[in-house]
């Protein structure tokens, strides 16, 4: 469970944008200087905020998060922080509009550091911009991010006339080289973790691991303790090709991971080094048009919305010979082909995905996604995908199996963050219908989440309830009714119980989740989750799978260091006892992970 997977439940304060009351429901973590001015590119003076900026409301200030660890997660908000005065015709409002047209990164899209860097480069090239950079924060909406663009305004001659004409941070580490056409940077991040599970596999490992080819020496003792580490290293960059309309980008990294001790599946000391990212793409943003074309291919991250159907954290294996079971450092697909067309708040996307599986099943997914993010208070999307090839088959009653190849799924999503006009009252939901081109298949999955942020209370609590259902197969009918979602994941979203998830995936599962999220200090957040899991189709047996309580502790030590602690206990119920054929014990986990980034 790498930090990318674990950052999305950090509650942050609410901000209001200019003229948009819906903005105040979002929580934006701005740097402390956002309340009183930031240095003007090293010139020593303080610049006031432009009236064309989005306006922060008073509240707790959060620490920035490392962009490389957040790639692929959706943006809940893009916040503009402008300093100084542009002194152009039309004033700062005109400057703001030109900055938005140059940046062209909007809420509702997925976060890609290199694509955002292209937008920043385009903003830097505007004649009235002296400095531009961005920072990424967490949103109160689980699994989503906030991106803040910081711009220092002023004619170029202002910098030349400054009494202290210090240059901008053009090559500050980890940036190796940057000019108006090119940016090349070092990609370097990693983590270490210490983990202990008590009564792993509910005290009966053979009952739950005997058919798992990864479990060569599963944890059978009362306790299992182990250490993990990982480091990812490589290069990424962007380059303007010809005019300002066309930019190329790409990245290539290796990843080395190490594990020692008895984890859930193995007890040997091992390490593994292999390619992680290897992709290239281009962004075409024709001048005078609102369209943006972004095409890429290769080994890279990708996620659909919050991971209900496709999560980047299920796209690659981190078990068996690939150490990193809880750090989960590998998140890149084996191969992707992505084409995204953006027009203001509308996104059209086509995707082809080949997961990086430990045991290759030749499974691939291809589909489209159409999303709209309202400048008001709602968003929605429609997605459709198929499985054009796969060697996987699924159990469908006594002695029967159905192929995954030929599967077809339609998905609809709708969200609002000002239900009934009440600030902080959130409602979101998705539904998906699944069928098959060759066999009788009729399956459903859906969820609804209702939450509220209490901005005026101490620790800014956010309380939410979610009900989710993934249909199961009734073995007495000729139709297959089990919903198949092999890439549904994400610690803060669709890992439903950090222990229970190991024995109850998002298939044939009904779940209730109650979540309380608080921020005792600007850099510390606590997330308490309660799960009640039941079988959707018990097939004549008991429905009750189990219950679990998890506590997550997130501490942003500084922008380069992040601590994650997790304490969880799962309580088995009748269905698990029936599967094991014996009594079971509560399964506890204690996790401490430290992630570093440059």
State residue 64's pLDDT score. Answer: 65
Domains of the chain: 3-163 (no CATH), 185-597 (2.40.160.100)
What band does 13 get if pLDDT is binned at 50, 70 and 90?
very low
Query: DSSP character for 136?
Result: E
Distance CA 386, CA 463 (A): 36
Tell which residue, 232, 193, 184, has the closest CA to residue 69. Answer: 232
- Flag the least confident range among 132-136, 139-143, 354-358: 139-143
For range 276-299, the mean pLDDT? 93
Q: How far apart are the first and last CA of the chain?
A: 19
Which segments of 8-150 does DSSP mark as H helices, in order?
Answer: 91-103, 113-124
Looking at per-residue pLDDT, the higher value among 36 and 233 belongs to 233
**Which helix (DSSP H) or strand (DSSP E) does residue 3 occupy?**
helix 3-6
**Which helix (DSSP H) or strand (DSSP E) does residue 133 occupy?**
strand 129-138
pLDDT in tens, 57-92: 443 445 567 787 788 888 888 899 999 999 898 899
For residue 444, give the 3-state DSSP assignment: strand
The model's pTM is: 0.86
Q: Does the structure show a pLDDT above 70 at 7? A: no
**Which helix (DSSP H) or strand (DSSP E) does residue 467 occupy?**
strand 462-470
8 Å CB contact between 573 and 550: no
SS3 content of the chain, % helix, strand, coil (to 5): 10, 45, 40
For range 179-203, the mean pLDDT? 94
For range 570-595, the mean pLDDT? 96
* 261 φ/ψ sector (left φ>0, alpha ψ -120 to 50, else beta): left
Q: Does the structure show a pLDDT above 70 at 17? A: no
Q: Which residues make Cβ contacts (< 8 Å) with residue 395, sequence separation at least 6?
A: 401, 473
> In the chain, what percentage of residues exceed pLDDT 70?
88
Angstrom distances, CA of residue 335 to CA of 206, 275, 322, 364, 511: 35, 12, 18, 9, 32
Q: Which residues make Cβ contacts (< 8 Å) with residue 221, sequence separation at least 6?
A: 262
Angle, CA 211 vertex, CA 329 and CA 273 arms, to 5°: 25
State residue 289's pLDDT score. Answer: 86
Q: Does the structure show a pLDDT above 90 at 162? A: no
What band does 155 get if pLDDT is binned at 50, 70 and 90?
confident
Looking at per-residue pLDDT, the higher value among 560 and 206 belongs to 206
- Flag the least confident range among 36-45, 340-349, 488-497: 36-45
> In the chain, what percentage of residues exceed pLDDT 90?
62
What band does 46 get if pLDDT is binned at 50, 70 and 90?
low
Tell which residue, 216, 222, 319, 211, has the closest CA to residue 579. Answer: 211
Distance CA 275, CA 503 (A): 30
Q: Does the structure show a pLDDT above 70 at 1? A: no
**Highest mean pLDDT: which of 35-44, 100-109, 416-425, 445-454?**
445-454
For residue 384, give the 3-state DSSP assignment: strand
State residue 21's pLDDT score. Answer: 29
For residue 144, give the 3-state DSSP assignment: coil
8 Å CB contact between 256 and 228: no
Which residue is listed with tokens 């281009």? Answer: 282
Q: Does the structure show a pLDDT above 80 at 206? A: yes
Tell which residue, 269, 272, 265, has the closest CA to residue 212. Answer: 265
For residue 578, give the 3-state DSSP assignment: helix
Q: What is the DSSP string of 445-456?
A: EEEEEEEEE-TT
Cβ-based neighbour number of residue 276 at 10 Å: 26
Distance CA 454, CA 462 (A): 6
Distance CA 386, CA 352 (A): 10
Distance CA 435, CA 483 (A): 9
Cβ-based neighbour number of residue 551 at 10 Å: 13
For range 360-376, the mean pLDDT? 92
pLDDT in tens, 430-465: 999 999 999 999 999 999 999 998 888 888 899 999
For range 25-29, the mean pLDDT? 33
Looking at per-residue pLDDT, the higher value among 31 and 510 belongs to 510
pLDDT in tens, 541-566: 899 999 999 999 988 888 789 999 99
Looking at per-residue pLDDT, the higher value among 63 and 324 belongs to 324
Cβ-based neighbour number of residue 499 at 10 Å: 26
Q: Does the structure show a pLDDT above 70 at 161? A: no
Angstrom distances, CA of residue 447 to CA of 99, 309, 370: 38, 12, 20
Angstrom distances, CA of residue 276 to CA of 20, 113, 235, 257, 279: 41, 16, 12, 11, 10
Strands 38-39 and 425-436: unpaired
8 Å CB contact between 111 and 120: no
Residue ranges with strand state E in 285-406: 291-299, 335-343, 346-354, 364-373, 378-389, 393-395, 401-403
For range 339-349, the mean pLDDT? 93
pLDDT in tens, 108-138: 888 988 889 889 988 998 999 999 999 888 7
Distance CA 22, CA 45 (A): 34
* 497 φ/ψ sector (left φ>0, alpha ψ -120 to 50, else beta): left
Torsion sign (Cα): 464, 470, 476, 477? positive
């Amino acid at each position: 469970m790498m930090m990318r997977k674990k950052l999305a439940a950090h509650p942050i304060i609410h901000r209001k944008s200019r003229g948009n009351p819906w903005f105040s429901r979002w929580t934006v973590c701005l740097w402390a200087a956002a309340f009183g001015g930031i240095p003007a590119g090293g010139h020593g003076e303080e610049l006031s905020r432009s009236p064309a900026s989005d306006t922060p409301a008073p509240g707790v200030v959060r620490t920035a998060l490392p962009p490389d660890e957040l790639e692929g997660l959706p943006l809940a908000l893009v916040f503009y922080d402008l300093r100084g005065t542009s002194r152009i015709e039309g004033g700062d409002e005109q400057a703001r509009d030109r900055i938005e047209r140059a940046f062209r990164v909007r809420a509702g899209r997925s976060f890609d550091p290199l694509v955002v860097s292209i937008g920043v480069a385009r903003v830097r090239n505007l004649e009235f911009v002296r400095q531009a950079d961005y920072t990424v924060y967490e949103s109160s909406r689980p699994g989503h991010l906030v991106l803040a663009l910081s711009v220092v305004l002023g004619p170029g001659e202002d910098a030349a006339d400054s009494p202290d004409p210090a240059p901008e941070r053009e090559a500050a580490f980890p940036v190796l080289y940057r000019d108006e056409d090119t940016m090349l940077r070092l990609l370097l991040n990693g983590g270490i973790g210490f983990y202990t599970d008590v009564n792993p596999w509910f005290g009966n490992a053979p009952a739950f691991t005997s058919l798992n080819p990864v479990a060569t020496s599963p944890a059978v003792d009362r306790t299992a303790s182990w250490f993990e580490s990982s480091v990812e290293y490589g290069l990424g960059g962007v380059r303007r090709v010809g005019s300002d309309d066309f930019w190329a980008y790409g990245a290539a990294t290796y990843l080395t991971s190490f594990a020692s001790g008895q984890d859930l599946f193995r007890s040997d000391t091992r390490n593994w080094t292999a390619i992680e990212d290897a992709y290239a793409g281009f962004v075409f943003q024709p001048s005078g048009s609102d369209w943006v074309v972004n095409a890429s291919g290769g080994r890279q991250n990708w996620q659909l919305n919050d991971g209900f159907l496709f999560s980047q954290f299920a796209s690659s294996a981190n078990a068996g010979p690939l150490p990193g079971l809880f750090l989960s450092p590998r998140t890149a697909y084996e191969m992707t082909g992505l084409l995204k067309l953006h027009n203001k708040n509308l996104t059209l996307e086509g995707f082809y995905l080949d997961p990086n599986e430990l045991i290759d099943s030749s499974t691939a997914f291809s589909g489209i996604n159409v999303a709209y993010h309202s400048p008001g208070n709602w968003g929605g999307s429609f997605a459709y995908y198929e499985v054009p090839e796969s060697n996987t088959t699924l159990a469908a009653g006594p002695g029967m199996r159905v192929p995954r190849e030929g599967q077809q799924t339609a998905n609809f999503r709708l969200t609002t963050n000002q239900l009934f006009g009440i600030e902080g009252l959130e409602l979101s939901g998705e539904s998906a219908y699944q069928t098959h081109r060759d066999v009788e298949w009729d399956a459903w999955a859906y969820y609804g989440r209702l939450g509220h942020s209490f901005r005026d209370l101490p620790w800014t609590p956010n309380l939410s309830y979610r009900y989710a259902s993934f249909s199961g197969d009734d073995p007495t009918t000729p139709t297959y009714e089990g919903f198949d979602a092999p890439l549904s994941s994400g610690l803060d979203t669709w890992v439903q119980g950090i222990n229970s998830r190991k024995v109850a995936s998002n298939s044939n599962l009904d779940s209730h989740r109650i979540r309380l999220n608080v921020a005792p200090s600007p850099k510390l957040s606590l997330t308490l989750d309660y799960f009640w899991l039941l079988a959707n189709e018990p097939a004549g047996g008991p429905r009750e799978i189990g219950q679990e309580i998890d506590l997550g502790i997130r501490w942003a030590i500084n922008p380069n260091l992040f601590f994650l602690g997790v304490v969880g206990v799962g309580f088995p119920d009748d269905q698990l006892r029936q599967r094991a054929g014996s009594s079971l014990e509560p399964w506890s986990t204690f996790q401490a992970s430290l992630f570093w980034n440059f």
